[in-house]
Amino acid sequence: MIKLDLTNILKEEIGQSGLDFDEIKMRAENAVSILKERKNEDLDFLNLPYQDLKKIKEIGQKARDYEYFILLGIGGSALGPKVILESLSPFHNFQKKPKVFIFDNVDPYTLRNLIELIDLKKTLINVISKSGSTSETLASFLIFWRMIRDKKMEVREHFVFTTDPEKGNLRIISDEYDIPTLEIPKKVGGRYSVLSPVGLFLAEAIGINSGDLLEGAREITEKATANNLDENPMAYLASSLYLMDVSKDKKIIVFLPYSDRLRSLSEWFCQLWAESLGKEGKGTTPYPSLGTTDQHSQLQLWMEGPEDKVILFVSIESHNVQEEIPEEFYHIEGLRFLGGHTLEGLMHTEQIATEMALSLNKKANLKIVMPKIDAYTLGQIFQFLQVTTAMAGFLYSINPFNQPGVELGKRLTYGALGKRGFESEGEEVKNYLKKKRIII
């Protein structure tokens, strides 16, 4: 089970920079209470660990017969699957098929090179958009659709749609052309969807048992509403990060996992936290980092820069690889001390040393501890961070499941491209472009 170490955020450890444990506990109790009250509202991601996997496994098994697997999506539709790929099969494309490419932008250079690299006859394309109206995803989809039609290939053999169960553009196309589809539950938003077919289909396609992911998430879900608060580290983390903001003015969360395999988890968490909580002038800014790498690029700032950060470590107890450092060059003290240790031991030691250095300088930090990285624990950390984010939203008294600030950019894009019904937004864009620019 994932654990949370609160030690270095408490007053007895870091003085006035820290928090009182009783206050953290009180807010944690409040967060759990609100979660229980809203259990049937906007919280369908808590039900995902109990879903039926039969269809996902059937289509996932067929996906393994292809040479290439392209995922078209953006935001939560791409970041979650990317975490699964890079955490559980980080060198997949060198070892197994299908070779996986996650295309989450509209950079024409990247798309053109991808098209030249693959053989479309041996390719399955997973198009992910719950609304079926995501401009970037649809643009890429249309290019691949036309290419496959031009080659006289059967489209239903080369596409799988992951979308709304009842409506949207992809649903219309799937009905007309008999495209296989996987359904995203109606009340599960994109950034909370990794444990839906959004992430689970890719897992099955690359040979990861999606049931293991859900089993880990299920344990977290059950603890999220447990009466025993001491079994609910998510509530304590939500409370701590909230209080660090409102009472200590810590406006930045540095998310710092100590594993290359969790680099993309930092990116996924940043979207989850930022889009869920950045509303009504509230919320804090997450930024992705990586240990030990960023000890050499960011630690100076954390130690002696502005007092506006809280560091959230993610430590791995066992990487399951004992790569020993050779005992060589005994006559050179700068090398001799490394001999006989392991890379895992060095990484763990550097994490502890950074944690201690911050604490000795009264810099607030917390630590999530994962026993290892496998499908079960990855399912746990996904649900752990989703529950934490939802609880933090409740403490801020905002809705952590909408994203009103994103909608204006979408409407202006639609208007600029001439989508019917967005004519006024199109005029706004034209007027904006007519303004005099100060270009130096």
pLDDT tens for residues 200-243? 999 999 999 999 999 999 999 999 988 789 899 999 999 999 99
- What pLDDT, on a 0 to 100 scale, did the predictor assign at position 327? 84
Say yes or no: 383 and 285 in one domain.
yes
Q: Is residue 123 part of a domain?
A: yes
Q: Is residue 8 part of a domain?
A: yes
Domain's final residue, options 210, 233, 248: 210
* 436 pLDDT more than 70: no
Q: Is residue 307 part of a domain?
A: yes
Say yes or no: 123 and 8 in one domain.
no
∠ Cα 45 50 54 (to 5°): 115
Say yes or no: 280 and 204 in one domain.
no
Helix, strand or coil for residue 181? strand
- As given in the structure block, the two tokens for residue 279 are 């509303």
> Which residues form the catalytic set?
275, 296, 410
Q: How far apart are CA 132 and CA 371, in angstroms?
A: 38
- What pLDDT, on a 0 to 100 scale, did the predictor assign at position 40? 64
- What pLDDT, on a 0 to 100 scale, did the predictor assign at position 331? 83
Q: Is residue 426 part of a domain?
A: no
Q: What is the mean pLDDT of residues 314-342?
A: 86
Q: How far apart are CA 163 and CA 181, in angstroms?
A: 7
- What pLDDT, on a 0 to 100 scale, did the predictor assign at position 408? 80
Say yes or no: 114 and 67 in one domain.
yes
User: Across-strand partners of 257?
Assistant: 314
Q: How far apart are CA 281 and CA 113, in angstroms?
A: 41
CATH number of the domain to which 100 belongs: 3.40.50.10490
* 17 pLDDT more than 80: yes
Say yes or no: 61 and 32 in one domain.
no
Q: Is residue 92 part of a domain?
A: yes
Say yes or no: 291 and 367 in one domain.
yes
pLDDT band at 88; cut points 50, 70, 90? very high
Q: Is residue 415 part of a domain?
A: no
Alpha-helical segments (H) within 154-196: 169-177
What percent of the chain stands above pLDDT 70?
A: 99
Say yes or no: 187 and 299 in one domain.
no
Say yes or no: 158 and 249 in one domain.
no
What are the C-alpha distances in Å from 419 to residues 340, 408, 409, 416, 426? 65, 14, 14, 8, 9
* 67 pLDDT more than 70: yes
What are the C-alpha distances in Å from 269 to residues 79, 90, 108, 264, 393? 9, 19, 27, 9, 14
Say yes or no: 88 and 167 in one domain.
yes
| DSSP secondary structure string for all residues of 231-255 | G-HHHHHHHHHHHHHHTT---EEEE
Contacts of 412-418 with C-beta under 8 Å, sequence gap 24+, read 413/135, 414/135, 417/135
* 393 pLDDT more than 70: yes
Say yes or no: 32 and 54 in one domain.
no
pLDDT tens by residue, 248-305: 999 999 999 999 999 999 999 999 999 999 999 999 999 999 999 998 999 999 999 9
Range of the domain at 107: 46-210
Q: Is residue 219 part of a domain?
A: no
* 333 pLDDT more than 90: no
Q: Which of 13-27, 113-127, 264-278, 406-420 has the lowest mean pLDDT?
A: 406-420
Q: Phi/psi at 196 (nearest 5 deg)?
A: -100, -175
pTM of the model: 0.95
Say yes or no: 11 and 88 in one domain.
no
Q: Is residue 416 part of a domain?
A: no
Say yes or no: 252 and 373 in one domain.
yes
What's the total number of domains in the chain?
2
Domain's final residue, options 178, 210, 242: 210
* 427 pLDDT more than 90: no
- As given in the structure block, the two tokens for residue 268 are 């996924």
